[in-house]
Amino acid sequence: NLLKKSSTGDYTSKSMDDFTKSIIHGDIVKSWLKFAKDRKTIIYCHSTSFSKIVAQEFRNAGINALHADAKTPSNERNKIMDSFKQGQIKILCNVDLVSEGFNVPDCSCVVLLRPTESLVVYLQQSMRAMRYQPNKHAIIIDQVGNFERFGLPDTDYKWTLEDREKHPRKDSGSTEGLQIKTCPDCFAVIKAECVKCPICGHDFSIEIRKIKQKKDQELRAIKAEKFHIDLIAKKKVSELTSFKELTMYAKAKHYKNGWAWHMAKRKGFI
């Protein structure tokens, strides 16, 4: 992993530079065309220079995109914002601009290109596309894996200061316990309990049934083994007829590891 944390807890700009170099720029445009074509889109980058490159990539593909940041002169910035609101500009690339009371209700797509360890940054950015409008369906294209750390932005986060342990933040970057899954048809990341993909309608019922069957099977196997061990434990050592039985016996009686082996040797099982 190229990402390195600074003393403030989030990633250093140098490591984000390295990381974003590993993103294939053509793929940013390609996935937007595939999943969010013609949507009013905000793209969050980690640096001004990267944001400008991304805007240029979109313009190269014939899509109207501009970059703006806090250092853009205010009259120019206002002009850019206005044409974004009115729809002449499809894509607004920025670093941290759009967090300051910026309201574009019909923005329905956010592209995340800024890896973050901060849940607040993640929510601020991804929720930008989720401002309510009737029949609106927001799309978040996360190309830096933030969802792997935090889950879906509409997860019920427990905001307490006392139990930081239970905070949804994950240091390992694993999705385990986050209750999300990826749709095999459209690659949307959705809630694990979805029976139908809300994006493409993919039906998960067979898969869910298979998982349940597998769990039941495992549970039955565990129960059967336990039953077997209980039976063996009731026997005398002289009644045991194989190395396997001796091992089970040793396990039930909490004997040391070598016991079963020595006994099996003595009885001529091995």
User: Which tokens go with 176?
Assistant: 């385990």
Minimum gap (Å) between residue 30 Cβ and Zn ion: 18
Binding site for Zn ion (CB under 5 A): 183, 185-186, 188, 197, 199-200, 202
Give the three-class secondary structure for 207: helix
- Specify the residue, 58 or 147, whose C-beta has the smaller distance to Zn ion: 147
- Specify the residue, 3 or 189, whose C-beta has the smaller distance to Zn ion: 189
- Specify the residue, 13 or 182, whose C-beta has the smaller distance to Zn ion: 182
Minimum gap (Å) between residue 196 Cβ and Zn ion: 9
Minimum gap (Å) between residue 201 Cβ and Zn ion: 7
- Specify the residue, 139 or 199, whose C-beta has the smaller distance to Zn ion: 199
CB–CB of 230/248 below 8 Å? no
Contacts of 133 (CB under 8 A, 6+ apart): 105, 106, 108
Question: What CA–CA distance (Å, rounded) separates 149 from 3?
Answer: 13
Question: What CA–CA distance (Å, rounded) separates 92 from 97?
Answer: 10
- Specify the residue, 119 or 183, whose C-beta has the smaller distance to Zn ion: 183
Minimum gap (Å) between residue 132 Cβ and Zn ion: 23
What sign for the dihedral angle of Cα 237, 243, 244, 248? Answer: positive
Minimum gap (Å) between residue 186 Cβ and Zn ion: 3
Closest CA to 244 of 258, 260, 259: 260
Give the three-class secondary structure for 110: strand
